[in-house]
Amino acid sequence: MKSHRDNSYNEHFIKEVLSIFDFTSSILLITAGLVLWYFTPFLGSLIRTIASGVGYGSAKLFYFFVADFEFFSILGVIFLLLNGLLLFLAGLGFLYDIKWSKKIHYLSWIMVLLVFPIGTLYGVFTLWLTSKVNQ
pLDDT tens readout for residues 94-106: 888 888 888 888 8
pLDDT tens for residues 87-96? Answer: 899 889 888 8
The predicted structure's pLDDT at residue 111 = 84
Helix or strand run (H / E) with residue 116: none
Q: Give the per-residue pLDDT at 19.
A: 86
Q: pLDDT under 50 in the chain at which residues?
A: 1
Burial class (CB in 10 A: 0-12, 13-18, 19+), 93: buried
